[in-house]
Amino acid sequence: MKSRIREHMEVIGADGAHIGTVDGIEGDRIKLTKKDSGAGFEGGTHEGHHHYLSCGLVAGVEGDRVRLSANGDTAWGMLEEK
């Protein structure tokens, strides 16, 4: 499934909440664009750097969207910073 994930795809939670936009894949993690780093559930407190999600959270790839197995608020809490 990881091989189907491409740059600029939208990442959404199981509930349809926007998590971010794919900037690329690094190892077993999805790298999200910096422009979305302040858009999530933290109220913009983590702006200006990349966030990463484990590819293990991916439930499916549908068109140009990556759907996660976790709801948006849970997925946001699982983001790793770099």
Q: How far is CA 29 from CA 1, 13, 37, 43, 66, in A?
A: 12, 16, 16, 23, 13
Query: What's the confidence (pLDDT) of residue 45?
Result: 52
Q: Which fold has domain 2-81?
A: SH3 type barrels. (2.30.30)
Please state the pTM of the whole predicted model.
Answer: 0.85
Any idea where the domains of the chain sit in the sequence? 2-81
Please report which helix (H) or strand (E) contains residue 75, including its range. helix 72-77
pLDDT 10s digits, 8-64: 999 999 999 999 999 999 999 999 998 766 555 444 455 667 899 999 999 999 999
| Rounded-to-integer distance, Cα 76 and Cα 60, Å | 18
| Rounded-to-integer distance, Cα 53 and Cα 15, Å | 17
